[in-house]
Amino acid sequence: MKLGNILFIARLLATVIILLLIDFEQLVLILRSIDLDFVLLANFFELAGFIVWTLKWKFLVDKLERINFTTLFLGLMGGNVLNTDVLRARTIGGFGRAMFLKNVTRDHGHANWYATVVMDQTVNIFVFSIPVIFSLLFVFLFLDIPWWLSILLEGITLILFILALFTYLSRQKINRSTIDRFFYSTLKRIYDFSLFKIIRNRFEDYKIFEELVIKGLNEFAKTYNLILKERKMLVRDIGLSVLMYAFIFGKAYLIFKSVGYNIPISDLIVSLSLILWISSIIPIPGGFGIKGLVMVSIYSMVGIPLTTAAIVALIDRTIYLFFVIIIAYVSIVIMRLFHIGERKG
């Protein structure tokens, strides 16, 4: 069976489960009483989050070259087209954004611009790790959660702890020459690997490929360390990251208000932090089905009624998908009309 068919069946089953869980009489009552002003305000909070994210990235980019804010906003939105995970978009990937910057400038390469993206992602991970740690402690200490969710959270936490411990021990025990040998041998295997024929077609000689990779890594490290030395810039970047996440949590709070549910701030932080965290580290398909089921499950874990949780999840996903599909495609169309981000020379 094809992967697309499997995902379709999984989404369909998740949707059926949600429909079986909700109370349709209560659903109708809530839908009739939704406050559209709060929903509209939630949309503005989503937009504000993207604007702050762009501003945050701009301060990093300006360290190398000043680029118009509007250009960066279009590039950020276009680079996140169909990226249906809120946290993963801010912490993983970013090659498209780096390529976009390379195309709109002349003086720096892909590695330099990717360093700004990685710095942006590093700060986002650091800031978001604080509510995640708080949420995990809160869940393990104070909540009576289902056994399967407890095993899932404990398993993920254990794996991340082992990876962190292994990384620390590696830095302490493995000498530089061992790391160099492992790196160069791995690079050679990548070049010789049969599935990577496209690399051999572009670089006829391995030495050319190796020199290009080493040069890119050196440029990346140079730019990353340059930004890292700017303490004031890092403090500002952390502050903007906090503000960006505040808009994300604020959007969820407004959605709950729109359906007439007053969620405690602690419950909101715990539930939404776990939703974003689990969704980002587990390859959950986007859209409404499986992602919606995860949201409903976590919200109900902190005591939110299933029907309310389902409606909130639906509104939340609709708002976010509107920005990463409709607004993102509009951004791409604008860039193509005005030849923004096209390769120069």
Could you read off the pLDDT of 106-124 as tens digits, one per residue?
788 889 999 999 999 999 9
Cα 112 to its chain centre, rounded Å, is 21
pLDDT tens by residue, 222-242: 998 999 899 999 999 999 999
Share of the chain above pLDDT 70, in %: 80
pLDDT band at 37 (very low <50, low <70, confident <90, very high): very high
Q: What is the pLDDT of residue 244?
A: 97
In this prediction, residue 288 has a pLDDT band, given cuts at 50, 70 and 90, of low
Share of the chain above pLDDT 90, in %: 35
Q: Which is higher by pLDDT, 312 or 176?
A: 312
Tens of pLDDT, residues 161-209: 776 666 665 555 555 565 567 677 888 888 787 666 777 777 778 888 8
Q: What is the mean pLDDT of residues 76-99?
A: 73
Mean pLDDT of all residues in 78-92: 69
Kindly tell me if the per-residue pLDDT of 308 is higher than 70.
yes
pLDDT band at 146; cut points 50, 70, 90:
low
Q: Residue 170 has what pLDDT?
A: 56
Tell whether the model's pLDDT for residue 286 goes beyond 60: no
- Residue 330 burial (CB < 10 Å; 0-12/13-18/19+)? middle
**Under 8 Å between Cβ of 65 and 105:** yes
Q: CA–CA separation, 89 vs 121, rounded Å?
A: 9
For the chain, what is the mean pLDDT? 83
Q: Is the pLDDT of residue 8 over 80?
A: no
* Nearest of 260, 246, 258, 324 to residue 291 by alpha carbon: 324
Find the mean pLDDT for residues 245-257.
97
- At residue 7, does pLDDT exceed 80? no
Query: What's phi and psi for 263, nearest 5 deg?
Result: -85, 130
Per residue in 266-281, pLDDT (tens digit) is: 999 999 999 888 877 7
Six token digits for residue 240: 């903007």
What is the rounded average pLDDT of the residues 40-57?
A: 96
**Number of Cβ within a 10 Å radius of residue 150:** 14
Long-range CB pairs of 27-34 (<8 Å, 24+ gap) are: 27/307, 27/310, 27/311, 30/259, 30/260, 30/307, 30/308, 30/311, 31/311, 33/259, 33/260, 34/258, 34/259, 34/311
